[in-house]
Chain A
Amino acid sequence: ASGAYPKRVKVVEVGPRDGLQNEKNVVPTPVKINLINMLSETGLQVIEATSFVSPKWVPQMADHTEVMQGINKLPGISYPVLTPNLKGFQAAVAAGAKEVSIFGAASELFTKKNINCSIEESLERFDEVMRAAKEANIPVRGYVSCVLGCPYEGKISAAKVAEVSKKMYSMGCYEISLGDTIGVGTPGSMREMLAVVMKEVPVGALAVHCHDTYGQALANILVALQMGVSVVDASVAGLGGCPYAQGASGNVATEDLVYMLNGLGIHTGVDLQKLMDTGTFICNALNRKTNSKVSQASCRL
């Protein structure tokens, strides 16, 4: 069980997108750009910048084109953006995106409530994106939501997660990020789910996207690492509450994740102090306290 850990872990920073999208307060475009620029200086290799979705649905990401065009794109850093359909993909590419993400789910009810179609229909939509992306040589990352539980269906079968993951991987996604959307997972359910998914998708193509709504995120991530997963999503300062539980936390904080990985001797390339400074910046801009315990503890003595 507590065998060898990966020597390196790639941290995928989702604060500017997943984080800000789920914050009560909206920040102006220059603040978003500054946030991403600061994150680019921390050593993070992947920073999810924005979402090319209609501002009617997600007003917080309405400035996607300006953000994409305004940020410093440092060499060696990837700035993926969400593209829910072909239209969004085309807008993203026109704005300079070089990597995109698509969002599936392991729950029919969640898919229906979220994007008003079935899982099968959503994958058909993504197929268009995949084809266009392949032609343009643009890598696509696939997300699977509700892998450890659904706010509508409750329990989710690991087999379903594996089925959706396999489909998205076969369509051409280079990586599948498995999301515990409502944070209900535990090391027990994480292990069980990964064991089944790893039969269908190679572990090198898997990532975990854990929410800390029930405080389980780091323990869940630890188990994933023990099983060979080496890509972990996190959000600076733990930005992004849970839309399904008012006042509850959402994304796991990047600072707390990096602190743990440092303690395990796992290489991330991330400068924790610079990361904390970035967290302080965005929390001030949002007029909120950080959700990162490492950050909280470090303003001390």
Chain B
Amino acid sequence: MGTVPSALKHCLSYQHLLKEQLWIAEPPAAAHPAQEPQASGLPEYIKIVEVGPRDGLQNEKVIVPTDTKIELINQLSKTGLPAIEVTSFVSSKWVPQMADHKEVMRGIERHPGVQYPVLTPNLQGFHSAIAAGATEVSVFGAASESFSKMNINCSIEESIERFEEVTKSARNMNIPVRGYVSCALGCPYEGKVVPDKVAEVSKRLYSMGCYEISLGDTIGVGTPGSMKKMLEAVMKEIPLSALAVHCHDTYGQALANILTAIQMGVAVVDSSVAGLGGCPYAKGATGNVATEDVIYMLNGLGINTGVNLCAVMEAGNFICTALNKKTNSKVAQASFSTGTTN
């Protein structure tokens, strides 16, 4: 519409816009008169769980050196993120990208008030994690038998038994355990996944002692429609405060799905800085939703996260440079490309 060239010459650069527009760059100030999150039914505060260093890097083609991982996590620790998933204590035979789990765990700065959970697929991994200094762990279940079989070579029931060993030990040591349920909105092998199955697996994980259940749309096929149905089923079994959503943006639906979840009261959202981590089931497609884009949305909704968006973008810029790749965050893309400056 109209003369683009002259528009480019004179408009504000996005960096400038960021500095000017509170709602873009910073978390909302308290009691913003125009925003009434309570009235709109949305949570006042949302906990962001940053999974970039684990879920993200695990699914990137390029493997980064240990020092780079540590630097990334240290940068993320300064952004205000309350939880950062650091690494995975799984056999390096299966997941070579996480082979340096001990070094990473021991090498990072531990900021007070920040949690540093690690994945522990079984008791052996759990012990290894504790020895390396972990103070919170995660276990990964799935709502699909086929996925469970293909991913960890056992049935859902068998995986639950393995996790029970972990949660029992964890309880004895006062270590909180987070439970993940994969394929909550669809499975790359089975296709459709029944909400009741998601509820059933979630309930098992919650009953065995997981303090939080993160419901993962592993292949990103979910939409606000299927998200709503799934959450309705799960909310019958698990208290809202113990639920989190872990949305993949493979079909571009992540933010809309997250919005649906928070409209239903979910107050914990997983995301990955710079949208690190492609989808192993769809070549070239994206995976995790970008933390920057989530925070941008939550800021605009007047929801507090405690996270500094600019700081996250900088961490994203750092890791993308190290990985020699473009960011998957649209906010970062729009913000680092200034067009022309005046």
Residues of A within 8 A of B (CB): 1-2, 18, 21-22, 57-58, 82, 103, 113-115, 145, 149, 151-152, 154-155, 183-189, 191-192, 212-216, 218-219, 221-223, 242-249, 253, 256, 259-260, 262-265, 292-294, 296-301
Give chain A nearest CB distance to B1 CB in angstroms: 5
Given contacts A18-B1, A186-B299, A253-B252, 10 further A-B contacts (CB under 8 A): A103-B1, A103-B2, A115-B2, A145-B1, A151-B11, A185-B300, A219-B259, A259-B252, A293-B252, A297-B286
> Known contacts being A248-B337, A253-B252, is A215 close to B330, with CB within 8 Å?
yes
Closest residue to A3 on the B side, CB-wise?
B263
A145-B293 Cα distance, complex, nearest whole Å: 23
Instruction: Identify which of B11, B23, B250, B256 gathers the most chain A CB atoms within 10 Å of its CB.
Output: B256
- Given known A-B contacts A152-B10, A222-B256, A293-B286, A247 and B333 have beta carbons under 8 A apart: yes
CB closest chain-B residue, reference A18: B1
Stretch from B91-99, B103-111, B196-204, B222-230 at the A interface: B222-230
A297 touches B285 (CB 8 A): yes
| Residues on the B chain within 8 Å of A243, using CB | 4, 7-8, 339
B322 lies within 8 A of chain A by Cβ: no
Complex contact A259–B251 (CB within 8 A)? yes
B4: chain A residues at CB < 8 Å are 22, 243
* Residues A218 and B252 in contact in the complex (CB < 8 Å), given A186-B299, A247-B333: yes
Residue in chain B with minimal CB distance to A112: B10
* Chain A positions within 8 Å of B114 at CB level: none
- Tell me whether B2 and A219 are in contact (CB under 8 A): no
Interface pairs (11), CB distance under 8 Å: A2-B228, A21-B1, A152-B12, A184-B21, A186-B300, A215-B293, A216-B297, A219-B255, A244-B8, A245-B337, A256-B253
Nearest B residue (CB) for A223: B259
Of the four ranges (under 10, 10 to 19, 20 to 34, 35 or more), the interface on chain B belongs to: 35 or more
A82: nearest residue on chain B (CB-CB)? B1
Whether B338 is near chain A, meaning CB under 8 Å from some CB there, is yes
> Interface code B38-74, partner A: CB below 8 Å = 1, 0 otherwise?
0011100000000000000000000000000000000
Contact A215/B255 with A296-B284, A301-B281 known, Cβ cut-off 8 Å: yes
Taking the closest CB of chain A, its distance from the CB of B125, in whole angstroms, is: 29
A149 contact set on B, CB distance < 8 A: 21
Whether B333 pairs with A263 at a CB distance below 8 angstroms is no
Chain B residues 293-323 with CB under 8 Å of chain A are: 293, 296-297, 299-302
Residues of A within 8 A of B259 (CB): 187, 219, 222-223
When the two chains form their complex, are residues A1 and B263 in contact, meaning their CB atoms are under 8 A apart? yes
Residues of B within 8 A of A (CB): 1-4, 6-8, 10-12, 14, 17, 20-21, 23-24, 34-35, 40-42, 188, 220, 222-226, 228, 249-253, 255-256, 258-260, 263-264, 279, 281-286, 290, 293, 296-297, 299-302, 329-331, 333-334, 337-340
Q: Given contacts A151-B11, A293-B251, are A299 and B284 in contact (CB under 8 A)?
A: yes
User: Do residues A297 and B12 form an inter-chain contact, with CB atoms below 8 A?
Assistant: no
Report B-chain residues with C-beta under 8 Å of the C-beta of A184.
17, 21, 24
Among residues of A, the one whose C-beta sits closest to the C-beta of B188 is: A301
Q: Which 9 pairs of residues, A with B, have the shortest CB-CB distance?
A: A186-B300, A263-B223, A215-B330, A293-B252, A114-B2, A300-B282, A256-B252, A215-B293, A297-B285
Q: Given A214-B296, A243-B4, A293-B286, A154 and B253 touching (CB < 8 A)?
A: no
Contact A154 B283 (CB under 8 A): no
* Chain A residue with Cβ nearest B296: A214
Q: Which residues of A contact B299 (CB under 8 A)?
A: 186
Q: B10, B226, B255, B296: which contacts A113 (Cβ < 8 A)?
A: B10
Q: How distant is the Cα of A219 from the Cα of B2 in the complex, in angstroms?
A: 28
Tell me which residues across on chain A come within 8 A of B293, comparing CB atoms: 214-216
By beta carbon, the residue of chain A nearest B39 is: A1
Shortest C-beta distance, A70 to chain B (Å), equals: 23
Inter-chain contacts of A152 with B (CB < 8 A): 10-12
Cα of A57 to Cα of B5 in the assembled complex, Å: 9
Given A103-B1, A215-B330, A248-B334, is A265 in contact with B285 using a C-beta cutoff of 8 Å? no
